[in-house]
Amino acid sequence: MVGDWIGHGTLVPVRLALIVNPIASSVTRRALVVIQKALSSDHSLTVSETNRKGQAIRLAHAAARAGADVIVALGGDGTINEVANGVLGEACAVAPLPGGSTNVFARAVGYPNDAIEATGVLLEALAANRSVMASVGLANDRAFLFHCGVGYDAAVVDRVERRGVLKRYLGHPLFIGAAVATWFRDAERRRGGFSVETDSGLSARGIKQLVAMNTRPYTYLGAKPIDLAPEAGLDTPLTVLALTSLSPRVLPSLAQGLSRAGGLPSRGAARHWAGVHSAVVTSARPVPWQLDGEAMTPATELRLAHRPEALRLIVPDHH
């Protein structure tokens, strides 16, 4: 049972379920063999591989119902998001191993950005019985672990996903190219925008980009975290960031947000609202949105909410 793994100085074997996205950017067969051997040396282990989007949700739910103590997700942020959605409300814990191109969530909770090295850290955490209860954000009842983006960034994610196999090999350069192409070619940033209203009555109209953050950072650019809301954390309500303009005039505010302790300042075209428990995004036309870097079906309404202590995470000792 989670929380009762250690007894009288003796390691108690844990029932692990490893769910792997074999086509994630940095997952290799060699690494998978090493990881499986390491995880199964002291613990019982079952392994499942995904072959389509959404499958990790069902695999994680089945593993939890079958009695797994910890479900280990090896893949990108999308795979880890699916695993988390599959186990909400279950007693098991989740451990993220980095297998994608950016691995925001695994790095955010303290794991190294190398799957084999991270496996060693995970085994140490299991031996020490280190876990925390973490909040999740919800967008139309789908959980997100670090952020939900609406508008421009979601259009960028959708452009990247339409290029399929290239994502595995090009990684960050593909995202940068998609961001530039979306900026110049997409009509999304020039449209009338959408609206948001929070539970406390804060509101804005004509929004071109919105991010609801469940923890920090927003993403990483190489080794550098893009930290627009330093107060965001897995034990706090959501932070909502919004831009009512995507013209070059907002670039100084964005640059300042990357260099100051308070993150993106709330002035001019920018809104920075901390402590948000719920919010509603509405749009006259379907707007693109993404969860943890995975594109979703465009919608005219998104109901955002904070759900505290929704997920047990296995975390490194320095988290």
Is the predicted pLDDT of residue 3 greater than 50, yes or no?
no
User: Mean per-residue pLDDT for 64-74?
Assistant: 97
Domains belonging to the chain, first-starting first, are: 6-129 (3.40.50.10330), 142-307 (2.60.200.40)
Indicate the range of 259-268, 282-291, 307-316 predicted with least confidence.
259-268
What pTM value is reported for the model?
Answer: 0.88
Whole-number pLDDT of residue 249: 64
Confidence band of 101 (pLDDT split at 50, 70, 90): confident
Whole-number pLDDT of residue 86: 98
Model pLDDT for residues 236-252, shown as the tens digit of each residue: 999 999 999 887 666 66
User: Mean per-residue pLDDT for 17-43?
Assistant: 95
Is the predicted pLDDT of residue 7 greater than 90, yes or no?
no
Confidence band of 1 (pLDDT split at 50, 70, 90): very low
Whole-number pLDDT of residue 265: 81
Evaluate whether 180 touches 236 at the Cβ level (below 8 Å). Answer: no
Indicate the range of 10-14, 15-19, 28-32, 101-105 predicted with least confidence.
10-14
Is the predicted pLDDT of residue 9 greater than 50, yes or no?
no
User: Mean per-residue pLDDT for 17-28?
Assistant: 93
What average pLDDT is seen over the chain? 87
